[in-house]
Amino acid sequence: MGLGMEMRFEGCPAGVFAVVAPVFSPVSPQAEALSHIFVITLLVCAAIFGIVTLLVALCILRFRGKPNAPEPLQITGNERLEISWTVASILVLVGLFVLTVHAMNVSDPAADRPADLTVIGHQWWWEVRYPNGAVAANEIHIPIQSNLLIRAEAADVIHDFWVPQLGRKIDVIPGTTNSLWLRADAPGEYLGTCAEYCGDEHAWMRILVIAQSPADFDAWQARQLQAAATPPSTLAAEGLKVFRAKTCVNCHTIKGTDAETSVAPNLTHFAERTTIGTGVLTNDAESVRLWLADPQKIKPGCHMPNFELTTNELNALTAYLETTK
């Protein structure tokens, strides 16, 4: 449809072109079908609203009572008229229902094969697992022009996965799995968000889908399997020590170190990501320092406590995390 104007915007993570109305700027056949039926329905609604408004306006203009006017003709109804508008509204809705069935089939075909990747909603971040074993967080890389079947799960409460330019939203529910087709026809970065209220930091549970050419995607996916680089400087090496000493390893994984838990985002390739805190800050050294100094100040209620790091520890840990490419 392309109704949405595209523009570069400062509030977005670097490199993201945000569209004003993502619902009307589909980049997949699924989202196209949704946008299409939405536009048709809105036109129908606008026509109905127009009719009612016109009738009300005519009433106001034509039937304004004058003071001491005699009582008007007492009409109690008109069965034929009432039956006709009942039938007319039924016909409109039957038409919409037919379009609904069609749009559902196009935008949400049945899942007929094993999932291509798994997305797990956590309070308040997204874990993304690829079939080759790569694990990412919050930023979902996909190859363009390929129908990907997503398996959607939840680790704690109900969340909802929604990237409006790519298709429908789907709840992710603890105890059950859902599936969803994801596809992007053009390379680019597409914003999404958790849409189901999930507690304190529901607002900062953003999603970024990065659609790449198949070659770029394959390269990225292969890179994810590599271990994190050995700290290149003494400061960074100091940072790795802090990382291990401060119990960071109890929650985070960094491949190539002994940090192997996935309660919190995998940090092996942390420095490659565009945002931290699931969208709350742009990922640069300054933000990382701010975050580490007190995560509760940046994202109140999040599950990472304030470790009260000293300035030296902050410098070292920031330097180390900046090397995790």
The interface with other proteins within residues 33-72 (CB under 8 A) comprises 33-34, 37-38, 41-42, 45, 48-49, 52-53, 55-56, 58-60, 63-66, 69-72
- Using CB under 8 A, count the residues that bind other proteins: 93
Look at the block and give the residue holding tokens 């007492």.
74
CB of 275 to other proteins, least distance (A): 9
Q: How far is CA 268 from CA 10, 91, 210, in A?
A: 27, 58, 18
CB of 279 to other proteins, least distance (A): 7
Q: Residue 52: exposed, middle, or buried by beta-carbon count in 10 A (0-12, 13-18, 19+)?
A: exposed
Instruction: Among 131, 133, 197, 223, indicate the residue that binds other proteins (CB under 8 A).
Output: 197
Structure tokens at 74: 């007492």
Closest distance of CB 244 from other proteins, Å: 30
Q: Which residue lies nearer to other proteins by CB, 119 or 254?
A: 119
143: helix, coil or strand? strand
Q: Which residues contact 241 (CB under 8 A, 6 or more apart)?
A: 316
Under the binding rule (CB under 8 A), the answer on residue 73 touching other proteins is yes
Closest to other proteins by CB, 35 or 212: 35
Contact 156, 123 (CB under 8 A): yes
User: Taking the CB of residue 90, how many other CB atoms lie within 10 A of it?
Assistant: 10
Is 149 an interacting residue with respect to other proteins (CB under 8 A)? Answer: no
Stretch that binds other proteins, among 192-200, 230-238, 257-265, 308-316 (CB under 8 A): 192-200
Nearest distance in Å: CB 118, other proteins = 15
Q: Position of tokens 């069965």? A: 79
Instruction: Decide: 178 and 110 in contact? Cβ < 8 Å.
Output: no
Between residues 23 and 229, which has the closer beta carbon with respect to other proteins? 23
Q: Which is nearer to other proteins, 107 or 268 (CB)?
A: 107
Which parts of 225-244 interact with other proteins (CB under 8 A)?
A: none
Cα–chain-centroid distance for residue 138?
A: 9
**By CB under 8 A, what part of segment 94-123 binds other proteins?**
96-97, 99-101, 103-104, 107-108, 110, 123
- What 3-state DSSP class applies to 162? strand
178 binds other proteins (CB under 8 A): yes
